[in-house]
Amino acid sequence: MNSMIQTCADTLIENIGKMAESGTGQEVKRSFSAYTMDVIAATGFGIMVDSQKDPNNPLVEKAKDIFRISIFNPAIFLSLLLPSTTKLIEKSGLSRTVIGNQIYFRKFCRQLIQQRKETGINENMHKNLLNLMIKAQLKGHEKLDPEEEKELHLENITDWRTKRGITDDEILAQCVIIFLAGYETTASTLTFFTHSMATNPEKQQKLYEEIVEVLGDDLPDYDNVQKLPYLDMCMDETLRMYPIGTALDRQCNKACTIKGVQIPEKLTIRVAVDALHYDPKYYPEPDKFIPERFSEEAKSKQVPFTYLPFGAGPRMCLGMRLAKLEFKVAAVQMIRNFKIFATEKTENPLILDETFLLVAKNGVWVKFERR
């Protein structure tokens, strides 16, 4: 799996190299979106869509359409506040866009599933999530190879196989979720990270020195990126300042009273992640990019559940480890090969826009220079 991510990262670095050669400021989100689409297609489904070399790839365009929808559209906003009103979407002008894109992804994923079943799965094929789900379906209740689960980052998911075996419709649903959840989230995090590096050159230099000292000329992989503590701090601080999902919903499964407030069963509780992350009680000077607040010493004093970029508990983000690896491989290669500078078009602070996920309203503009 790491080799597939590295191949995608190599193409990303080639594209950034072209940006550097231009000598001008560039908007970076599109490049990162294409990179993450290629990674999720390769690791999730064992296919190469080459969206980095084909910027008009329909997969990327359809995915972008979905995430362009603003949560402040009246129908979307009301459905988020009151889940029982989600049928309003069907009556709004959004239905054509939402349903049309859903149909496209379902058709694409259904064809992939059918094709993989027809061609068969052999042990020489690259391991990917789609093959694993099909094997689980064919094997029924048999346990899969633990090493295979570990490589695909599934070993920490409790009872991820259903007791009755996974159905075609469930495989299809998981495929669509993997495509959409694994695409925009990491692309946005890389975009915000790049902005943070451009606007904090001393932090960028410190990270560069760590990468050179620890990795030398070695390519980043799952094992050696764990030896880069400052990279972890920069990633964590990026996710604190720019949590891609700004809210978490949980349903109360048993009526209870907390500090005098009665919470009935089945009530949906919304946690404002961005409010927690910017509370000066937990994070002094919250508007400043300070990776050191996530050092091991600082984290040992952190109040539990005040940092929630991936959620928490049994329903936290299952793709967290894959997303972090995807991020780190790209970040290491980018920082090792290029200096990143702010330009006259670089907003600081960024003007943010909440569609389904947090994005920079006017994009992130930076200038690259080869080291």
Task: Tell me what pLDDT residue 9 has.
Answer: 97
For residues 240 and 283, is the Cβ–Cβ distance under 8 A? yes
Closest C-alpha among 173, 44, 42 to residue 105:
173
Q: Is 257 helix (H, G, I), strand (E, B) or coil?
A: strand
H or E segment and range at residue 190? helix 168-199
CA-closest candidate to residue 69, choices 329, 364, 353, 367:
353
Architecture of the domain whose range is 2-370? Orthogonal Bundle (1.10)
The more confident residue out of 150 and 129 is: 129
Tell me the range of 53-57, 110-114, 242-246, 353-357 where mean pLDDT is highest.
Answer: 242-246
Residue 91 and residue 51: Cα distance in Å, rounded?
34
286 CB neighbour count, 10 Å cutoff: 15
Query: What gap in Å lies between CA 279 and CA 286, rounded to an integer?
Result: 7
Under the banding of pLDDT at 50, 70 and 90, the label for residue 77 is very low
Name the more confident of 227 and 168: 227
Contact yes or no for 298/177 (Cβ under 8 A)? no
Residue 65: what residue type? D
Q: Which residues of 203-221 are buried (b: 16+ CB within 10 A; e: fewer)?
A: bbebbbebbeebbeeeebb
Taking only the tens place, the pLDDT of each residue in 269-304 is 999 999 999 999 999 999 999 999 999 999 999 999
Weakest-pLDDT range from 33-37, 69-73, 201-205, 336-340? 69-73
pLDDT band at 187; cut points 50, 70, 90: very high
Q: Strand 358-360 vs strand 352-354: parallel, antiparallel, or unpaired?
A: antiparallel
Quickly state the pLDDT bin for 149 (edges 50, 70, 90): low
Who contacts 77 (Cβ-Cβ below 8 Å, separation ≥6)?
Answer: 71
- Give all strands of the β-sheet with 26-27 in edge-to-edge order: 26-27, 365-370, 338-342
Model confidence band, residue 78 (pLDDT cutoffs 50, 70, 90)? very low
Strand partners, 370: 338
pLDDT of residue 172 exceeding 50, the answer is: yes
Spatial separation of the C-alpha atoms in residues 31 and 9, rounded to whole Å: 11
Per-residue pLDDT at 326 exceeds 70 = yes
Q: Which residues contact 96 (CB under 8 A, 6 or more apart)?
A: none
- 317 marked ligand binding residue: yes
What are the backbone dihedrals phi and psi of residue 288, each rounded to the nearest 5 degrees, phi first?
-100, 145
Task: Tell me the chain's radius of gyration from C-alpha atoms.
Answer: 21
Cβ(27)–Cβ(359) below 8 Å: no
**How large is the average pLDDT for residues 248-262?**
93
The pLDDT of residue 234: 99
pLDDT digits (tens, 9 = 90+) for 35-44: 998 998 888 8
Distance (Å, whole) CA 238 – CA 197: 10
In order of 9, 58, 248, 355, the CA distances from 70 in angstroms are: 30, 21, 17, 4
Crossing angle for the helix pair 168-199 and 229-241, to the nearest 10 degrees? 100
Largest interatomic CA distance in the chain: 62
